[in-house]
Chains A and B, each alone.
Chain A
């Protein structure tokens, strides 16, 4: 049966599991806080967050870090809901 990129329990691998603690960057803490605030205010929920992550193109999903996936999803869902205009974030980042 076809399995999506995120549905990876039991995938064979020879890679070692990285058990090191991960130091979080400031932007990662902000993404966590942002998604938490969006949830508390009823703008988007955790199931939408998951669905947005699962909609990533598989190669992007593989390259992205944990909070990059959250950010991708938050932008996807917020554009979908009309909270953000398409391309609005990119335009702001470019200044």
Chain B
């Protein structure tokens, strides 16, 4: 396979992964916000979120494999799983490895959610808020040689979309209608030491 083709595939797959990941994050946030309409049931949001996440992993896998086998970068397979172990753009690539590992953990735990229990699953799922920005930084850090105008537009569109969704999520209170009443009651019957 020609070196240039590998190189372009890596960057294309990386860009697609980032766009897809951003969509996954936005869908996840929409799910938490309980967004729905008569034409858009909740299981559409959650179903898309799940399926798109798995598809993202496929493109991410393509991105990683083509990057590793590309002779130009001299990456070993180790670099794909051990952060900051490559000579090529050590720091920025390392970020990519971190993002990849986080996403693996998030997807793996989601696949065994029934066995893991809701609490543990949720705690790990929160790592999404770390994985996505790390992936974005990785993209900017490793992909800056010859970024086209459109790629930049796409990247910023992703950032704005996730940023707005996340901001909305964190500014609106809990969507669980019982949250405040439950907290108030618990406070009244709380007899733990020192509270």
**Are A and B co-members of a single complex?**
no
Taking beta carbons and an 8 Å cutoff, which residues of B are in contact with A? none
- Could you tell me which A residues sit within 8 Å of B by CB distance? none
